[in-house]
């Protein structure tokens, strides 16, 4: 089951930071289940690629931050 926390179905792209939005995993799931044209399916694959890139970059960033903080805690220069 997909977690629908913060999801508003068919809300589309947000107009601002406080506007309604549609979560990326929900968009991928909905597109995969309901696509009717190859363009819609391609958009679903694009959304999945964006989600993978975002997740990977956040993991790499968290790892770099962890290493920097560990160096700082040990008394070394944190950013070298």
- What the block records as the tokens of 1 is 């089951």
Contact 67, 77 (CB under 8 A): no
> Where do runs of H (alpha helix) occur along the chain?
24-34, 38-73
For the chain, the domain total comes to 1
The answer to the question of residue 66 being in a domain is yes
Q: Give the alpha-carbon dihedral of 28, 35, 45, 24, to 10 degrees.
A: -20
The answer to the question of residue 51 being in a domain is yes
Contact 32, 45 (CB under 8 A): no
Domain that holds residue 65: 46-72
pLDDT digits (tens, 9 = 90+) for 10-61: 555 566 667 666 778 888 888 888 899 999 999 999 999 999 999 999 999 9
The answer to the question of residue 67 being in a domain is yes
The answer to the question of residue 40 being in a domain is no
- What the block records as the tokens of 27 is 């968009």
Taking the C-alpha atoms of residue 69 and residue 66, their distance in angstroms, rounded to an integer, is: 5
The answer to the question of residue 59 being in a domain is yes
The answer to the question of residue 34 being in a domain is no
The answer to the question of residue 61 being in a domain is yes
**pTM, two decimal places:** 0.67
The answer to the question of residue 55 being in a domain is yes
């Amino acid at each position: 089951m997909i977690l629908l926390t913060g999801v508003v179905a068919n809300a589309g792209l947000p107009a601002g930071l406080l506007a309604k939005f549609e979560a990326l995993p929900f968009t991928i799931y909905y597109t995969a289940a309901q696509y009717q044209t190859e363009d819609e399916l391609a958009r679903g694959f694009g959304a999945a690629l964006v989600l993978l890139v975002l997740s990977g970059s956040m993991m790499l960033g968290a790892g770099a931050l962890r290493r920097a903080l560990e160096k700082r805690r040990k008394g070394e220069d944190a950013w070298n």
